Amino acid sequence: MTTMTEGAVGSVREFKMPDVGEGLTEAEILKWFVKPGDTVTDGQVVCEVETAKAAVELPIPYDGVVRDLRVPEGTTVDVGTVIITVDTGGGTAAGPARQTVEPEPEPEQPQGRQPVLVGYGVAASSTRRRPRKPQETLPASAPAEPAAAALQAELNGSGRPAVAGPGPVAGARPLAKPPVRKLAKDLGVDLAAVVPTGPDGVVTREDVHAAVATPAPEPSAGTPARTEPTAPPAAYDTADTARETRVPIKGVRKATAAAMVGSAFTAPHVTEFVTVDVTRTMKLVEELKQDKEFEGLRVNPLLLISKALLVAIRRHPEINAAWDEAAQEIVVKHYVNLGIAAATPRGLIVPNIKDAHGKTLPELARSLGELVTTARDGKTSPAAMRGGTVTITNVGVFGIDTGTPILNPGESAILAVGAIKLQPWVHKGKVKPRQVTTLALSFDHRLVDGELGSKVLADVAAVLEQPKRLISWA
């Protein structure tokens, strides 16, 4: 749709929240990089948004002047919502103008979902949804059609058709988009009791949050009262904002939670532990820091731990596999996309190093450095988090000795690395202070039996105890 503006030369184009091709339905505006009156060019990044996968920068596909920012920062909007308008014909951005809207002819849509370039529109679809209408009213004398009556009965949960009368259909299902229904369910809000403020009587997120803060109205005479749970004691009043803070579950944190629940209750997890003397590995780390081949690169224990795991996988390739439930097959992968769990302000993400098995130690160090920097800046792309095969999570940076990590969905194993610290250790027949850590390997027991998992973990420990095995076993 092109908006023609009176008093300005040219037209105003509406840019909608694009479909990023990940099957996602919404995104949050994190930051605007432009303001009304700014000149933009085709391909220029105008804002940063956060989806359930990652933060993504959106380029504008027009040349022109920014007319209006429709959505403020921190707002979550659905795919297809207009977020910015741009005057593409040389008009000015100063002041609102009367506008007339001229519809453009709808292009023929290809069958099926098509790939979409981020920032350039919503994926084409073979079907078109009709505009949502207000709830229809029926004359008292007009009987409901059988199909409509059956549907209404199902929505009412009564097992029989509702009686239609003047005004909105009795017991009609409240209008709300799926994300809003999910929010209401999570917060325990009955959508039928929410006052809608959206277009055509649609319940919005704000309406749901308002319903949480506002007591539900008393049931009218003749209406069965709902049975509500007993209110908690006043000392634990959930509405006491001075004692509690509620943080909406969205974006990366929401996606991570869903993925972890799915993994925990799909793959049977087994975790094995080993404590190992890594004194020689720590000495090698210090030596590599002085090596010219590693100048400017990030050299730390994680680098050698990653290489040790890659060596163990080379010796036992069966652990680098995936379970295909639909085909009832085990897919052994001849490449390693090494995931590195990273804690970020937006939640836990697991980007992976593609084809890590073929990288030299300096190349692996460079990839690790880039991965960590990108994650810390919140710039990790969705593609960087797809296709992982095994993962390392370094809980030791928080001073934790070990843990029982949950598999990244679709992967076969995850290695947790504990804190490395001086401990009394028997070395060459004497108790001495040595650098010691505990490793924990969780694996999918459908794919990996105890023998295979034990061998892989033992090999990782052996390499870290005697780093020269990086040469002899490579």
Asked if residue 331 lies in contact with residue 387, where contact means CB atoms within 8 angstroms, the answer is: no
Task: Tell me whether residue 427 is one of the annotated catalytic residues.
Answer: no
Q: What angle do CA 265, 266, 272 make, to 5 degrees?
A: 80
pTM of the full structure: 0.55
- d(CA 259, CA 347) in angstroms, rounded, equals 13
Q: Provide mean pLDDT across the span 269-284.
A: 96
Residue 9 and residue 76: Cα distance in Å, rounded? 33
Pick the CATH number of 2-102 from 3.50.70.10, 2.40.50.100, 1.20.140.10, 3.40.1360.10: 2.40.50.100
pLDDT in the model for residue 207: 82
**Residue 369 contacts residue 392 (beta carbons within 8 Å):** no
Contacts of 28 (CB under 8 A, 6+ apart): 49, 50, 74, 75, 76, 77, 250, 251
**Range(s) for CATH 3.30.559.10 in the chain?**
252-472
Given a cut of 90, is residue 317 above it in pLDDT?
Answer: yes
Q: Indicate whether 33 pLDDT > 70.
A: yes
State the angle between helix axes of 301-315 and 361-376 in degrees (0 to 180), rounded to the nearest 10: 120
Q: How far apart are alpha carbons 128 and 103 in whole angstroms?
A: 16
Which of 1-15, 79-93, 147-161 has the least mean pLDDT? 147-161
> Which of the residues 209, 334, 427, 445 is marked catalytic?
445
Q: CB–CB of 121/78 below 8 Å?
A: no
pLDDT of residue 214: 55
Residue 242 has pLDDT above 80, yes or no: no
Q: Which residue has the higher pLDDT, 336 or 222?
A: 336
Average pLDDT over residues 153-157: 42
pLDDT at position 395 is: 93
- For residue 439, list its beta bridge partners: 274, 417
Q: Where in the chain is the domain with CATH 2.40.50.100?
A: 2-102
Q: Is the pLDDT of residue 225 over 50?
A: no
What length is written for the chain? 474
pLDDT at 438: 97
252-472: CATH topology: Chloramphenicol Acetyltransferase (3.30.559)
Contact status, residue 407 vs residue 413, Cβ threshold 8 Å: yes
